[in-house]
Chain A
């Protein structure tokens, strides 16, 4: 069973919007901080956004602040990323990732398989 499955990627025009979804299974979703991490073609990993288990706090990379909104629905075991004002620089594979912790110490695990977002006219 794959614990994190992303969907919603596709081709969108510059300036457009898209909503990504991540379906979680096999763990108590609401107990975990969740994240989006992206990877542009041929490039490295970039942390995009995080949200606490209760949605009380949300965090964003400077590159997406004001354009992207992270949200979650714990009743549906789902994580979302609402993306607005998209540009070519947002073209990337977007991964849904759980934050695991040991006391105060966090790390990413597991990773979803990703959903590809392409911004092009």
Chain B
């Protein structure tokens, strides 16, 4: 069974930079996994942030960026703001219509 790993929680200072990662329990994440990232504030539906590894969805500020770092997908928030404090999920496409989400990372801005 494929498990997608994310840091359970991370903290960042206002104005600082934080990098979230998305890995596979066995193997490497590559662009062929088509990693995407979703942001969710409490009580709200998820919102698409990043698709195709590093493309920002419409209206997403450029302080959010996606990449591949080593064998993982990564989401970097640069110049963190208070409203960046929420949950972030990565999703990997396994092929044949099957997707797997990571467990999510709770980002705290303090």
Chain A interface residues (CB < 8 Å from chain B): 33, 35, 37, 44-47, 50, 52, 57-59, 61-62, 95, 100, 102, 105-114
Contact = CB atoms under 8 A, between A and B. Distances in A.
Given A50-B97, A95-B45, A108 B38 contact: yes
A107 B48 contact: yes
Given A105-B51, A105-B52, A110-B48, A44 B89 contact: yes
A113 B47 CA distance: 10
A112 B47 CA distance: 10
Given A105-B51, A107-B36, A114-B45, A33 B102 contact: no
A112 B102 contact: no
21 contacts: A33-B97, A37-B101, A44-B89, A44-B102, A45-B40, A45-B91, A45-B104, A47-B101, A57-B97, A105-B34, A107-B36, A107-B52, A108-B36, A108-B46, A109-B51, A110-B48, A111-B38, A111-B45, A111-B47, A111-B48, A114-B45
A95 B36 CA distance: 17
A117 B1 CA distance: 26
Contacts of A111: 38, 45-48
Interface of B is mostly: strand
Given A95-B46, A114-B45, A44 B103 contact: yes
Interface in B65-110: 89, 91, 93, 96-104
Contacts of B9: none
Contacts of A108: 36, 38, 46, 48, 91, 99
Interface string B36-69: 1010100001111001100101000000000000
B100 A47 contact: yes
Contact of B91 (A47, A57, A62, A95): A47
